[in-house]
């Protein structure tokens, strides 16, 4: 049995992960990662409630509990990154960066320094000898968000929920009488809670109104309150009345213009070939060949031809077997070989 520090967010998943580790006989310490505690106008950060819930579960399980404060590093490495990407007109995924920079770097380093042998989280994923494998529950599999974790970190990580479905985890929480058994999942930004990206960005970025332009006709069909808030394929929130719905098919950050089309077949909405940069491989870079690719969380795995653009593997080309809709620059494309997640990269503009 091992000394394991388990990240406890105050949610049901990490609570059950901690309970299972205790039942397996490990020496467990629960850790709440304090990444963000700032209230914004009209937005309450739930960190105090979450840490209280996590501590109640830890007390019930009879395990030690600590709080690790990563706020400074989180603001620098996750929040500022996200803001920069949106300002550049891209659509980043802060959860991916959080896992890379905080949970499987800072948390791992701090835990090992405190004499832990392993860390654990409530992610739905599996590991095997430093490899990352998809979870048993296809609907909850979170390997898409974990593709930038290193093999060295994975070798020191346990994912107790990897073989269970979400329904089974909920049932286990109820059976064990865990405080968080009926707690709802947080669906907002990873570090703020129930907050939309528009509301969050509004507090940090100056924006100005601009035109929404029909790409086919060049006609101004509406107004927006900041091009930064719109992403490729977006349909809702355009406030353009009458007729068929419009979809965002592009934007120009310099001109502060958003381009839309009523055609779902608009060529800007669909991509079959991708260029990936900022590549990360969990193990050795795979050889050029046919793999499976996921272009967003819960998107289907699509067969694709993956090829390195140069010997240094700085960029990768991906030719999808079938076009995918609304693949926005800044998002991640993650590459799989069967159940193993190999890594991936950041999608570049055409």
**Which residues are the active-site residues?**
98, 190
CB 9 within 8 A of CB 32: yes
Q: What is the edge-to-edge ordering of all strands in the sheet holding 220-224?
A: 220-224, 210-214, 257-261, 247-252
**CA–CA distances in Å: residue 1 to residues 5, 28, 116, 267:** 13, 10, 12, 56
Q: CB under 8 Å to 245, separation ≥6 — which residues?
A: 235, 262
CA angle, residues 104, 80, 50, in degrees to nearest 5: 55
What is the maximum alpha-carbon separation in the chain? 67
**Strand, helix or coil at 153?**
helix
Burial of 113 (0-12, 13-18, 19+ CB in 10 A): exposed
Give me the residues paired with residue 53 across strands. Answer: none
- Which tokens sit at 259? 């381009």
**Strand, helix or coil at 318?**
strand
Can you tell me the distance from the alpha carbon of 225 to that of 71, in angstroms, rounded to the nearest whole number? Answer: 30
């Amino acid at each position: 049995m091992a000394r394991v520090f388990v990240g406890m967010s105050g949610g049901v998943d990490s609570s059950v992960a901690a309970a299972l580790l205790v039942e397996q006989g490990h020496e467990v310490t629960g850790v709440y990662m304090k990444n963000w505690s700032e209230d914004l106008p009209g937005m309450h950060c739930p960190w105090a409630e979450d840490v209280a819930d996590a501590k109640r579960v830890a007390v019930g399980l009879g395990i030690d509990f600590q709080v690790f404060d990563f706020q400074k590093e989180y603001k620098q490495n996750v929040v500022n990154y996200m803001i920069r990407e949106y300002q550049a007109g891209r659509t980043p995924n802060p959860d991916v960066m959080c896992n890379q920079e905080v949970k499987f770097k800072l948390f791992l380093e701090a835990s090992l320094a405190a004499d832990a042998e392993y860390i654990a989280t409530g992610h739905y994923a599996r590991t095997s000898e430093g490899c990352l494998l998809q979870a048993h529950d296809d609907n909850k599999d979170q390997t898409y968000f974990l593709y930038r974790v290193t093999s060295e970190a994975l070798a020191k990580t346990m994912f107790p929920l990897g073989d269970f479905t979400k329904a089974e985890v909920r049932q286990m929480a109820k059976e064990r009488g865990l405080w968080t058994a009926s707690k709802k999942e947080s669906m907002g930004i990873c570090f703020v809670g129930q907050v939309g990206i528009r509301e969050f960005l509004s507090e940090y970025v100056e924006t100005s109104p601009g035109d929404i332009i029909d790409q086919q006709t060049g006609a101004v069909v509406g107004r927006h309150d900041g091009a930064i808030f719109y992403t490729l394929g977006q349909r809702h929130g355009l406030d353009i009345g009458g007729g068929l719905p419009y979809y965002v098919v592009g934007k120009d950050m310099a001109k502060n213009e958003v381009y839309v089309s009523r055609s779902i077949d608009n060529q800007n909405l669909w991509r079959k070939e991708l260029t990936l940069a900022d590549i990360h491989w969990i193990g050795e870079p795979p050889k050029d060949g046919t793999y499976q690719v996921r272009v967003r969380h819960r998107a289907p795995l699509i067969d694709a031809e993956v090829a390195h653009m140069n010997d240094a593997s700085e960029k990768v080309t991906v030719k999808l077997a079938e076009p995918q809709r609304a693949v926005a620059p800044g998002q991640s494309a993650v590459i799989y070989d069967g159940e193993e997640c190999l890594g991936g990269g950041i999608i570049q503009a055409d």
